């Protein structure tokens, strides 16, 4: 087992990464001071539960913990206020108290939903992340938790850090190929924003990553987590720097919303968004040839880089107005300047953005 640390003063926490470490969840919970006198809640989804829920329940029980579980339908539609209320009802009926913990067992959907429950139940209880997707190397780190509004992604949320992240890479073996690619979008993003060598490493190792070669995958997840942890440690609440983690997300979140939170996976939408950001960089004269490089990296892990013909440019433009980075009437974009380096650009002309979205429906 390897340990990375997210440095956040008194809210610092470890990311444990290893093969088979779900079997240590009970002992790790005890190590992190989780009470044996209060009941705890595991939140998971109906695709993850058949694989891993009983293992986690048994593990915690064998260490003397009392746990109840809530299984939500898999998929982005569970990041809703309705499902949030249902999980809250389970927590209240289960008599969780202020010393209780909420464990998120699953991908980013379960992590964001369960984290928002943990952030708000009795105004905040202990939160543990047990990620089971590649994408969750990003979502389980950093404490952004939220549910969606039909009009805009992650609109109802909080910052609530976990006390630990327990990342058992063995769980990734059951991921469907489309989810593997979706998760790799955030890994490529981590290279594109801050680490040129890592971005090219992802491209060169695309085949091995797609086939879940253990050594390659663990290196990629560790490097991705380390880049994310480093940014979060410098700017926990996105006062400035943290916004770079949003590369591709302004267009990507709009694509997800217009697709009804289900047509496009998060990683697919931000892959298209990253291709768009590279086009924007070229249009704004900030770099040449970045689109070609970005697209080659995304294609190496089977990600889409164009929008289907039937998606309305106007609806994308409309949905984009809700981007959380936009303030005081200014469109703010994370614009790549070179592979491994991005800028936060304010007041991007709306016509430039529209032109990029239109191009995404063409050859990308
Ligand atoms: N909080 C953050 O910082 C942050 C960062 C990135 C993404 N996100 C959010 O994360 C979400 C996407 O996360 P995701 O891609 O993990 O989606 P997800 O949680 O929906 O998981 C993807 C799919 O894989 C299934 N699954 C999960 N683990 C599995 C396993 N081990 N074996 C088999 N099937 C498994 C799930 O049931 C689901 O169908 C989006 O809502 C996105 O907004 C949040
Ligand atoms: O952690 C962050 O900060 C990110 O931007 C990571 C993103 O990958 C993630 O999708 C995040 O949930 C987006 O946050 P939002 O504030 O744009 O909703
Ligand atoms: Zn993301």
| Three-state secondary-structure class, residue 265 | coil
186 CA: nearest ligand 2 atom:
8
Query: How far apart are the C-alpha atoms of 198 and 189, rounded to whole Å?
Result: 10
249 labelled binding-site residue: yes
76 annotated binding-site participant? yes
CA distance 211 to 218: 13
Task: Tell me the pTM.
Answer: 0.98
- Band of the pLDDT at 148, cuts 50, 70, 90? very high
Please compute the mean of the pLDDT values over residues 233-238 and round it to a whole number. 98
Average pLDDT estimate for 41-52: 98
The CA 112 to ligand 1 mean position distance, Å, reads 9
Q: Which residue, chain included where needed, has tokens 């294609």?
A: 299
CATH of 177-360, one of 3.30.70.20, 1.20.1090.10, 3.10.129.10, 3.40.50.10540: 1.20.1090.10
Q: What residues line ligand 2, using a CB cutoff of 6 Å?
A: 138, 142, 144, 153-154, 186, 238, 242, 245-246, 249, 324
Q: Which CATH class is domain 2-174?
A: alpha beta
Residue 227 neighbours by CB under 8 Å, 6+ apart: 190, 191, 193, 194, 195, 198
pLDDT digits (tens, 9 = 90+) for 180-212: 999 999 999 999 999 999 999 999 999 999 999
Q: Which residues contact 219 (CB under 8 A, 6 or more apart)?
A: none
In tens, the pLDDT along 213-225 reads 999 999 999 999 9
Query: pLDDT tens digits, residue range 28-45?
Result: 999 999 999 999 999 999
What ipTM goes with this model?
A: 0.99
Domain ranges of the chain: 2-174, 177-360
Average pLDDT, the chain: 97
Q: What percent of the chain has pLDDT over 70?
A: 99
Return the pLDDT at 68: 98
245 Cα to the center of ligand 2, angstroms: 6
101-106: strand order across its sheet: 2-6, 13-18, 164-168, 126-131, 101-106, 39-45, 66-72
pLDDT digits (tens, 9 = 90+) for 311-355: 999 999 999 999 999 988 899 999 999 999 999 999 999 999 999
- pLDDT for 364: 59
Strand (E) or helix (H) holding 55? helix 49-62
Decide if pLDDT at 356 tops 80. yes
Instruction: For residue range 53-71, list pLDDT tens digits in order.
Output: 999 999 999 999 999 999 9
CB of 76 closer than 8 Å to CB of 109: yes
Distance CA 78, CA 300 (A): 30
> Is pLDDT of 90 > 70?
yes
| pLDDT of amino acid 289 | 86
- Residue 362 has a pLDDT of 80
Instruction: Write out the catalytic residue numbers.
Output: 123, 144, 186, 228, 238, 242, 246, 249, 253, 266
């Amino acid at each position: 087992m390897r340990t990375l640390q997210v440095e956040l003063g008194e809210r610092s926490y470890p990311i444990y990464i290893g093969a088979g470490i779900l079997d240590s969840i009970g002992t790790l919970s005890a190590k992190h001071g989780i009470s044996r006198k209060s009941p705890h809640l595991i939140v998971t989804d109906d695709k993850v539960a058949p694989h891993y829920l009983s293992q986690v329940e048994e593990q915690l029980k064998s260490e003397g913990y009392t746990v109840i579980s809530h299984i939500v339908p898999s998929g982005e539609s569970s990041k809703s206020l309705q499902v949030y209320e249902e999980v809250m009802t389970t927590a209240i009926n289960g008599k969780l108290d202020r010393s209780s913990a909420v464990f998120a067992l699953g991908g980013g959907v379960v992590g964001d939903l369960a984290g928002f429950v943990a952030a708000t139940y009795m105004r905040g209880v202990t939160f543990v992340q047990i990620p089971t997707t590649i994408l969750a190397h990003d979502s389980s780190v950093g404490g952004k938790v939220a549910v969606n509004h039909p009009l805009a992604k992650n609109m109802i949320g909080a910052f609530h850090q976990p006390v630990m992240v327990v990342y058992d890479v063995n769980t990734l073996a059951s991921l469907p190929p489309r989810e593997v690619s979706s998760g790799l979008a955030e890994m490529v993003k981590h290279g594109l924003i801050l680490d040129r060598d890592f971005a090219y490493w992802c491209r060169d190792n695309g085949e091995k990553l797609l086939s879940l070669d253990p050594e390659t995958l663990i290196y990629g997840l560790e490097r991705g987590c380390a880049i994310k942890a480093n940014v979060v440690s410098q700017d926990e609440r996105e006062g400035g720097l943290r916004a770079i983690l949003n590369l591709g997300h302004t267009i990507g979140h709009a694509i997800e919303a217009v697709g009804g939170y289900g047509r496009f996976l998060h990683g697919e939408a931000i892959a298209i968004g990253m291709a768009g950001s590279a086009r924007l960089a070229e249009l704004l004269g900030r770099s040449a040839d970045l689109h070609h490089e970005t697209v080659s990296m995304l294609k190496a892990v089977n990600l889409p880089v164009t929008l289907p013909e039937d998606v309305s440019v106007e609806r994308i433009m409309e949905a984009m107005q809700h981007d959380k980075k936009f303030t005081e009437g200014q469109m703010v974009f994370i614009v790549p300047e070179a592979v491994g380096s991005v800028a936060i650009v304010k007041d991007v002309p709306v016509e430039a953005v529209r032109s990029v979205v239109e191009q995404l429906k063409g050859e990308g």
